[in-house]
Amino acid sequence: MKRVVVIAGGEVTQEDLHHIRPDDFLITADAGIEPLLDLGMNPHLAVGDFDTAGEEYLSKLEDLQISYRTLPSEKDVTDTHFALEEAIKLQPNEILLLGALGGARFDHALANLYLLEWLATTTSIPCTLVAGKNQICLLIGPTTICVTKGDTRYISLLPCSSQVVGVTLKGFRYPLNDATLTRGLSLGVSNEITQESGEITIHSGKCFCIQSADF
């Protein structure tokens, strides 16, 4: 399978949903089904305890002949975590996570960021979290990636481990050469690509790579 899109129960904009391609496999977690149905799109699988979306959605899912898995309200993983586990079973080339930030629950937003780390350390499937003008992925060294400028202006590297060692940035307004980023400090925030693409290399450590725009 080429790509699985998981739509969580946080804030989802029309701009976010425009990232969905016709051949994507769609999995919604709890209230993540609402914006999809509002747009006239049906998920291939809906999961959750549906404490947010409401039990009336179960009848709607049956009427629409949408496959769903109901989960207990008392469980060891969040609905989004469970949806990602279902996505992994499909062995896609890529996972796109929508609706994972925003909304009233900051604890869920932070937990969803940690899920990027869980995915990166337990699978080889790349996952990108998209929320409005922000695209977030997790990098684990040693690695080198090429990032394109696109519609985003800023790129920030925020350590997830205590330190990220051997950071080299090419094609950026503020280049780095074999630098060390320390968690809690802001050295890696608000850099800019000066060309059509830039290169990021890290030797060791884990960090969030956030591409964002403020317009």
CATH number, domain of 169, equals 3.40.50.10240
User: Do the beta carbons of residue 209 and residue 178 sit within 8 Å?
Assistant: no
Instruction: Report pLDDT for 200.
Output: 97
Q: What is the DSSP string of the chain?
A: --EEEEE-SS---HHHHTT--TT-EEEEEGGGHHHHHHTT---SEEEE--TTT-THHHHHHHHTT--EEE--SS-SS-HHHHHHHHHHHT--SEEEEES-S-SS-HHHHHHHHHHHHHHHHH-S--EEEEETTEEEEEEESSEEEEEE-TT--EEEEEESSSEEEEEEEESBSS-EEEEEEETT--TTSSEEBSSSEEEEEESB-EEEEEEE---
Q: Which residues form the domain of 116?
A: 3-132
Asked if residue 25 and residue 119 are part of one domain, the reply reads yes
Please tell me the predicted confidence (pLDDT) of residue 50.
Answer: 81
Note the pLDDT of residue 1. Answer: 73
Separation between Cα atoms, residue 148 and residue 48, nearest integer Å:
35
Tell the residue number behind the tokens 């800019």, with chain if given.
Answer: 192
User: How many CB atoms are located within 10 Å of the residue 16 CB?
Assistant: 21
Q: Is the same domain home to 43 and 98?
A: yes
Q: Which of 110, 132, 154 is the last residue of a domain?
A: 132
Query: Which amino acid belongs to residue 119?
Result: L
Query: Which of 132, 147, 164 is the last residue before a domain boundary?
Result: 132
Q: Are residues 28 and 74 in the same domain?
A: yes
What token pair was written down for 91? 């062995």
Q: Do 165 and 200 share a structural domain?
A: yes
Do 30 and 79 lie in one domain? The reply is yes
Claim to verify: residue 123 and residue 145 sit in the same structural domain: no
Domain boundary among 132, 156, 175: 132
Domains of the chain: total: 2
Residues 14 and 52 in one domain: yes
User: Is residue 118 located within the same domain as residue 32?
Assistant: yes
Q: What's the confidence (pLDDT) of residue 80?
A: 96
Whole-number pLDDT of residue 202: 98
Amino acid at 63: D
Both 110 and 19 in a single domain? Answer: yes
My answer on whether 150 and 99 are in the same domain is no
- The confidence score (pLDDT) of residue 74 equals 86
Per-residue pLDDT of the chain in tens (215 residues, 90 and over written 9) = 799 999 999 999 888 999 999 999 999 998 899 899 998 999 999 999 887 666 677 888 889 999 999 998 889 999 999 999 999 999 999 999 999 997 778 999 999 999 999 999 999 999 999 999 999 999 999 999 999 887 788 999 999 999 999 999 999 999 999 999 999 999 999 999 998 899 999 999 999 999 998 87
* 175 and 125 within one domain: no
Nearest one of 204, 215, 197, 212 to 179, comparing CA atoms: 204
Residues 80 and 21 in one domain: yes
